[in-house]
Amino acid sequence: MQPEIQSVKALAELHARLRTCRLCLDAGHDVYPRAIFSGRSGAFIMIIGQAPGITEKEAGRPFNAGSGTRLFRWLADAGIDETWFRNTQYLTSVTKCYPGRSISGGGDRVPSRAEQTLCRPYLDQEIALIDPRMILPVGGLAISLFYPAGQPLTEIIGTQKQVHGRWVIPLPHPSGASRWHQQETNRERVRQAVALIDEHMRAILHDA
């Protein structure tokens, strides 16, 4: 079997396993099982968020609501069209099922370390099978996969690094509830990050 066909088949099998995954529930974690992700083989950009929210769970679409609108508004400045991205590129998250509201009531619960550990092999397989040239981790939890814990966003957003030959360009969480990206100095950092993405997009499209 040709390697591309093998990879398409392996990704389809992975997606089938994700759709029926109950690992967190079986381990006693309070999640709403319905793994949310989208994308296919051949994608060269992968967006990794924290975990789906309630509207993502209901619609079955990653970055479905206001956060997605803001995220794709940022990415439009790098020449990235939302419809094109959703049809051709890859969207996933650190954990893939809606974790519910936080006990404090201040937004959605951050997936526990145990849930992250249970879901991590899926993310590793997605990255291995998609083999993206550029990864955009969105929000602190996804960024922590690639940057040291505790490093402030002000030192991270607007930078890039290479990890296993892939460019990693972090973005802040685009939620309307977050004040971080609304501060002017941080807006400039987001613009710098988008400029980096734009540069890599041009190089990737040039090579295509």
Interface of this chain with ligand SF4, residues 17 to 46, rule: CB under 6 A: 18, 21-24, 31, 33, 35
CB of 113 to ligand SF4, least distance (A): 13
Nearest alpha carbon to residue 140 among 132, 124, 152: 152
Q: Considering the complex, what minimum distance in angstroms separates the CB of residue 33 from ligand SF4?
A: 5
Cβ distance to ligand SF4 smaller for residue 50 or 67:
50
> Which residue, 125 or 178, has its beta carbon nearer to ligand SF4?
125
116 binds ligand SF4 (CB under 6 A): no
Cα→Cα distances 195→80, 179, 208, Å: 12, 22, 20
Of 109 and 200, the one with the shorter C-beta distance to ligand SF4 is: 109
Question: Phi and psi for 169 in degrees, rounded to 5?
Answer: -125, 105
Binding segment for ligand SF4 (CB under 6 A), chosen from 89-97, 166-174, 186-194, 195-203, is 89-97
**x-or-dash pattern for ligand SF4, window 91-110, by CB under 6 A?**
----xxx-------------
203 vs 74, 137, 158, CA distance in Å? 19, 20, 18
Q: Is 64 in the site for ligand SF4 (CB under 6 A)?
A: no
CB atoms within 10 A of CB 183: 11
Q: Is 204 helix (H, G, I), strand (E, B) or coil?
A: helix
Rounded Cα distance between 161 and 137, Å, is 12
Q: How far apart are CA 125 and CA 71, in angstroms?
A: 25
How many chain residues touch ligand SF4 (CB under 6 A)? 15
For the beta carbon of residue 25, count every other beta carbon within 10 angstroms: 13
Q: How far is the CB of 57 from ligand SF4 (least distance, A)?
A: 11
| Chain positions contacting ligand SF4, by CB under 6 A | 18, 21-24, 31, 33, 35, 95-97, 115, 118-119, 122
